[in-house]
């Protein structure tokens, strides 16, 4: 099977009330760790490449790794550009073999975001590639001091419906209180589920929503990092229960990067601390790959509910 788009993946996920995991990839060990987990869980996958990852790995390299992963696993795998910030990078990825691209116009005002998203949708659709856009600003709820501030940052349900209609975009990332990175909440973790419900009511039935900033920052991994010389005090993520709830409410794609970084770093730190004489990279990248596999396996099976759905 060639690498696939996300249309069918999302349609099934929404019908059956689970979410597809979208995991960020930067190198071979990360790709393999994720795919090893998905193979065992027989889960569909989205492997996503940020512009930073593409620059780091150099254009082309990650595309070939993802193609190799698809050949090795036989799983439905989509290759997605994460947070494309202009038309050019989206076009370059469409032309370079990606099956899905994100145009992130969330930093622009509503009309400008619509204009840019439409431009990408027109080009991508002409080449059979699907598009994700973003409306609203990712920010932890603790940053929103009061309701009117939350209203200013989080996705406006009426605007979400209008945005989808006017752009023809295939999926939409929404802001309901998650944020990127390992420090998501200063106090109690909270997401605006009432807003998500309202958005669902106003958009077409079965339309796929996307949740960015969905790492749960497992505390045992933070402790392991810190135990072996790391410094990540107060790291905190989205509780797994919240993600299960979002998946059941129509969120079809859940983005995870920080948890993979954490698993990889904790594992490498442990090898370095326990065997300082070791200098063969396979001796620390191999365990790091296994640590990523373990994190992803747990997500697919116990959080996203997509085991057996490939
Ligand atoms: O959305 C952010 C992702 O975690 C990608 O991060 O831009 O550092 O590759 P990055
Ligand atoms: P995390 O930082 O929570 O892993 O979010 C990743 C993400 O949203 C990638 O687009
Ligand atoms: Zn993101």
52 lines ligand 1 (CB under 6 A): yes
Nearest CA owner, ligand 1 atom 3: 257
d(CA 230, CA 248): 36
Cα–Cα dist 153/137, whole Å:
5
What is the rounded distance in angstroms from the CA atom of residue 129 to the CA atom of residue 110? 23
Mean pLDDT of 148-170: 92
Closest CA to ligand 1's atom 6: 50
Distance CA 296, CA 30 (A): 10
Instruction: Give the Cα-Cα-Cα angle 281, 286, 65 (nearest 5 degrees).
Output: 95
> What is the residue with the minimal CA distance to atom 1 of ligand 2?
213
Per cent of the chain over pLDDT 70 is: 97
145 has a pLDDT exceeding 80: no
Judged against a pLDDT cut of 60, whether residue 144 lies above it is answered with: no
> 209-211 and 171-174: which strand pairing?
parallel
pLDDT tens by residue, 79-114:
999 999 999 999 999 999 999 999 999 999 999 999
Residue 152 confidence class, pLDDT cut points 50, 70, 90: confident
User: Which ligand has an atom closest to residue 178 CA?
Assistant: 2
pLDDT at 40: 98
Instruction: Give kind and range of the element (H or E) at residue 24.
Output: strand 20-24
Q: 3-state DSSP call for residue 79?
A: strand
| pLDDT of the residue at 1 | 66
The 10 Å Cβ neighbour count of residue 54 is: 23
Answer whether 82 contacts ligand 2 (Cβ < 6 A). yes
Ligand 2 close to Cβ of residue 183 (< 6 A): no
Helices of type H across the chain: 7-16, 28-41, 51-57, 61-73, 87-95, 110-126, 147-153, 157-167, 193-202, 219-227, 240-248, 258-274, 281-298
The residues that are catalytic are 82
- Identify the band that residue 277 occupies on the pLDDT scale cut at 50, 70 and 90: very high
Nearest atom of ligand 2 to the alpha carbon of 217: 3
For residue 3, the CA-to-ligand 3 centroid distance in Å is: 22
Mean pLDDT to the nearest integer, 155-167: 98
Render pLDDT for 116-127 as a digit per residue (tens, 0 to 9): 999 999 999 999
The answer to whether 262 and 225 have CB atoms below 8 angstroms apart is yes
In the numeric block, the tokens 């494309």 are attached to 84
pLDDT band at 158 (very low <50, low <70, confident <90, very high): very high
Ligand 1 and 168: CB distance under 6 A? no
CATH 3.20.20.70 is held by the domain 7-302 = yes
Q: Which CA distances in Å does 277 have to 114, 171, 269?
A: 55, 49, 13
Give the separation between CA 151 and CA 176, rounded to whole angstroms. Answer: 10
In the predicted model, what is the mean pLDDT of the chain?
A: 96
| Per-residue pLDDT at 279 | 98
Say yes or no: CB of residue 257 within 6 Å of ligand 2. Answer: yes
Find out whether 87 and 123 touch, Cβ atoms under 8 Å: yes
Each domain of the chain, given as residue ranges in start order, spans 7-302
pLDDT at 23: 98
Over 60: is that where the pLDDT of 175 sits?
Answer: yes
Q: How far is the CA of 75 from the centre of ligand 2 (A)?
A: 23
Cα–Cα dist 83/50, whole Å:
6
- pLDDT tens digit string along 189-234? 999 999 999 999 999 999 999 999 999 999 999 999 999 999 999 9
Bridge partners, 102 (sequence order)? 132
Q: What does the buried/exposed string (b/e) look like for 93-113 if buried means 16 or more CB atoms within 10 Å of the residue's CB?
A: bbeeebbbbbbbbbeeeeeeb
> Which ligand sits nearest to residue 256's alpha carbon?
2
């Amino acid at each position: 099977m060639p690498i696939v788009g996300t249309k069918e993946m999302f349609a099934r996920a929404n019908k059956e009330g689970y979410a597809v995991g979208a995991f960020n990839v930067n190198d071979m060990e990360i790709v393999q760790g994720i795919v090893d987990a998905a193979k065992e869980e027989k889960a569909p996958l989205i492997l996503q490449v940020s512009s930073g990852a593409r620059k780091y790995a150099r254009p082309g390299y990650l595309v070939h790794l993802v193609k190799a992963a698809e050949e090795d696993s036989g799983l439905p795998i989509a290759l997605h550009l994460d947070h494309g910030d202009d038309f050019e990078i989206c076009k370059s990825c469409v032309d370079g073999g990606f099956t899905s691209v994100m145009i992130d116009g969330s930093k622009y005002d509503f009309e400008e975001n619509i204009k840019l998203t439409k431009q990408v949708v027109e080009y991508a659709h002409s080449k059979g590639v699907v598009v994700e856009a973003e409306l609203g600003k990712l920010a932890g709820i603790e940053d929103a001091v009061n309701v009117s501030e939350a209203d200013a940052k989080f996705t406006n349900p009426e605007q979400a419906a209008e945005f989808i209609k006017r752009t023809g975009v295939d999926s939409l990332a929404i802001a309901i209180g998650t944020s990127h990175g390992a420090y998501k909440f200063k106090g109690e973790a909270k997401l605006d589920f009432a807003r998500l419900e309202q958005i669902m009511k106003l958009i077409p039935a079965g339309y796929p929503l996307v949740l960015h900033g969905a790492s749960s920052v497992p505390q045992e991994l933070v402790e392991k990092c810190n135990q072996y010389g790391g410094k990540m005090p107060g790291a905190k993520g989205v509780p797994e229960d919240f993600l299960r709830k979002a998946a059941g409410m129509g969120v079809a794609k859940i983005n995870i990067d920080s948890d993979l970084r954490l698993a990889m770093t904790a594992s490498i730190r442990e090898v370095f601390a326990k065997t300082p004489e070791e200098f063969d990279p396979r001796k620390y990248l191999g365990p790091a790959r296994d640590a990523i596999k373990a994190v992803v396996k747990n997500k697919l099976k116990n959080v996203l509910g997509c085991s057996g759905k490939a």
